[in-house]
Copies of this chain bind each other. A is one copy, B any other.
Amino acid sequence: MPTSIREVARHAGVSIATVSHVINNTRYVKEETRKKVQDSIEQLGYCPNAIARSFKTGRHNLIAFITPDIANPFYSAMIEEVEAVISAKGYRLLICNTKEDAVKEADALRVLANGVVDGFIIASAFLSYDPIAKMLPANLPVIFVDRSLENNPCDTLLIDNYHALQKGIEYLIHQGHTHIAYITVKNQLSTVIERRAAYEDTMASHHLPTDDLVFIANPLSSLFSDNLAPLLREDITAIAVPNACLSTEVLTFLEEHGRIPGKDIEAIGYKESNQPQYINPSISLISQPAEALGRAAGHQLLERMSNPDLPTCRTILSATFIPKTDRHKI
């Protein structure tokens, strides 16, 4: 049904080669001929078939960003920056939302990796590179971001989860807190593990026990409130969480139960994206450089595409701990 280059050629009374050259400006065509061709294109409403073109040329100018959660401002901030970087070089960005589902991720990789996109930026739901390896053709440029995977030989850009939270916990300890609770989630993502390690290590290095202070909570579970109930214990005077989602959930829970964060109980939350006003202004925050990470990932991908022999890069961007007393500065 869609008109092809052949029909345009016939209509204009020239060869398909000439039509192609007119469209792509890829060799000189006499003004008169060009005019004829352009008129025919206009009249027939011809649009080159992008698939056929990519198929033939092997180039597509398409990059895919695989995100585990499109609704998370951390990723949308990254996406915006990646897009800005690559679109300056003529690439377009496709976004795939996996909802933290490794199967969906595998699916997206399979469908896009062979012939559709020129490169990937992946915030993976997988814990190891091994299952991914099979579905990526050799030499397809891939950059991993935010989460580190076992056995991953590809360029990887991470955030220093450990030291930011370490600073945060030390801040609380220096303020005199000894019973600092930590809420975490059940999965084994590197970010989750690193943050929890930062909490436990820091507590331990100050000889503070954590045995009955770590709580696993799933905001989507109906047991969420039940699991959080111990937070209301009198001895707990401060609390930390490993991400922005839990931040808001836990803060809301505390408020609803009459413990005002920042007043009755100290807290460290996460701020993802540059929207500080969303978060209770009287708690301390950890701020992740989502934008910088996005830019770096975009640049690294372009580098990798233009030079496949580059040594593997591993970059760690530091996150910022913002004590509540500095909140006005952001």
> Pick the contact of A111 from B2, B50, B52, B80 — CB < 8 Å?
B50
Number of this chain's copies in the complex? 2
Name which residue of chain B comes closest to A49, CB basis: B115
Residues of B within 8 A of A87 (CB): 104
Residues of B within 8 A of A252 (CB): 277
A138 to B137, CA, bound (A): 35
Q: Is A310 on the interface with B (CB-CB < 8 A)?
A: no
Q: Are A51 and B275 in contact (CB under 8 A)?
A: no
Q: Are B134 and A50 in contact (CB under 8 A)?
A: no
A251 to B275, CA, bound (A): 13
Q: Are A50 and B95 in contact (CB under 8 A)?
A: no
Q: Are B114 and A92 in contact (CB under 8 A)?
A: no
Q: Is A296 on the interface with B (CB-CB < 8 A)?
A: no
Question: Shortest distance in angstroms between A126's beta carbon and chain B's nearest beta carbon?
Answer: 18
Residues of B within 8 A of A135 (CB): 47
A134 to B76, CA, bound (A): 31
Q: Are A115 and B76 in contact (CB under 8 A)?
A: no
Sample (28) of A-B pairs whose CB atoms are under 8 Å apart: A1-B139, A47-B110, A47-B137, A49-B115, A50-B111, A50-B113, A50-B114, A50-B116, A51-B54, A51-B55, A51-B60, A51-B114, A51-B115, A55-B55, A61-B111, A70-B76, A70-B80, A71-B76, A71-B80, A76-B76, A83-B97, A83-B99, A87-B104, A92-B107, A93-B97, A94-B95, A95-B97, A252-B277
Contacts beyond the supplied A49-B55, A51-B54: 17 A-B pairs with Cβ under 8 Å: A45-B134, A45-B138, A47-B114, A47-B135, A49-B115, A50-B116, A51-B115, A61-B111, A71-B77, A71-B80, A79-B97, A80-B97, A83-B97, A92-B107, A92-B108, A251-B277, A252-B277
